[in-house]
């Protein structure tokens, strides 16, 4: 009788446990749906707000530019510097808004991958020219060491690839108070017998603040910046590297960073298949 009663008790306990687990599963499923909904609302809010902000900010930047260029008459000398500061602030805000729009599209799955014939060497030359004035103002030497071999044209989303590399250069400029930034482009051979298995490697090396291992581990997350980043550059939301990673993921590639420690510079790598 005791044995039978024990078995009945065990069965009742198991039935209760199964009921509790089923109830917990239902509650977790409901909570997950609510989180999904909240995440969608957050993404929509960021997207709508960013769109609404971009238009007036672009107007502010445009009118300030016209004032600085003298379209409304010569600007008083003591106005030039403050208006220049306003122009730069508007430019930073527009970049932030554009980054938020990129993130909202990525999280909503609305960012389309559009491959086309792309010459990465020409793309990097364009970026070095674009960032030349910024590097010059900071007295940082920005150079592109052109590859010794001919780099073939590949199928890639040129705009996304350009933005990913641009974000690495921009990041290096922000966190390098002095010295140089060197960009290199090379081919990493995987297997000579397998056509299309080789990879293109873009390397951005700086003499900046450097990073710890802990900072490197968090680099490509949203709103993540290292202690050096907070010290040298207070503006920005830490979205550039996150966006760069997402765009490189679309190319089935990899992106990572290395640093020997604080004050010893950093090196960022982008590796994408050539097929």
Which long-range CB contacts under 8 A does 86-89 form with residues at least 24 apart?
Answer: 86/60, 87/61
Residue 73 DSSP code: B
Give me the tens of pLDDT residue by residue for the chain, a chain 275 residues long: 667 667 767 777 788 888 888 888 888 888 878 877 776 666 666 667 767 777 888 898 999 999 999 998 988 989 988 898 888 888 878 877 877 777 777 777 777 888 999 999 999 999 999 999 889 989 999 999 988 888 889 999 999 999 999 999 998 998 898 999 999 999 887 665 454 578 999 999 999 888 888 888 888 876 555 444 444 444 544 688 888 999 999 999 999 999 988 888 999 999 999 87
Tokens of 156: 């890639």
Burial class (CB in 10 A: 0-12, 13-18, 19+), 93: middle
Q: Which two tokens stand for residue 85?
A: 């500061």
């Amino acid at each position: 009788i005791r044995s039978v009663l024990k078995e009945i008790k065990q069965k009742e306990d198991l039935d209760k446990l199964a009921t509790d687990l089923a109830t917990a599963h239902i509650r977790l499923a409901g909570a997950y749906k609510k989180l999904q909904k909240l995440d969608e609302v957050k993404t929509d809010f960021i997207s709508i707000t960013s769109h609404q902000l971009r238009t007036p900010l672009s107007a502010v930047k445009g009118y300030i530019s016209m004032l600085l260029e003298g379209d409304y008459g010569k600007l008083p000398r003591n106005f030039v510097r403050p208006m220049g500061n306003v122009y730069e602030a508007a430019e930073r805000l527009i970049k932030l808004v554009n980054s938020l729009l990129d993130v909202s599209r990525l999280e909503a799955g609305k960012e389309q991958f559009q491959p086309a014939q792309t010459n990465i060497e020409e793309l990097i030359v364009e970026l070095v020219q674009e960032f030349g004035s910024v590097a010059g103002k900071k007295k940082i030497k920005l150079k592109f060491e052109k590859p010794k071999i001919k780099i073939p044209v590949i199928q890639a989303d040129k705009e996304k690839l350009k933005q990913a590399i641009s974000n690495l250069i921009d990041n290096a400029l922000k966190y390098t108070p002095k010295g140089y930034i060197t960009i290199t482009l090379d081919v990493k051979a995987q297997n000579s017998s397998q056509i299309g298995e080789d990879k293109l490697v873009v390397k951005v090396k700086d003499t900046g603040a450097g990073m710890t291992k802990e900072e490197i581990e968090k680099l490509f997350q949203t709103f993540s910046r290292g202690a050096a980043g907070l010290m040298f550059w207070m503006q920005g939301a830490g979205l550039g590297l996150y966006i760069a990673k997402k765009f490189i993921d679309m190319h089935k590639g990899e992106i990572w960073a290395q640093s020997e420690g604080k004050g010893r510079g950093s090196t960022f790598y982008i590796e994408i298949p050539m097929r």
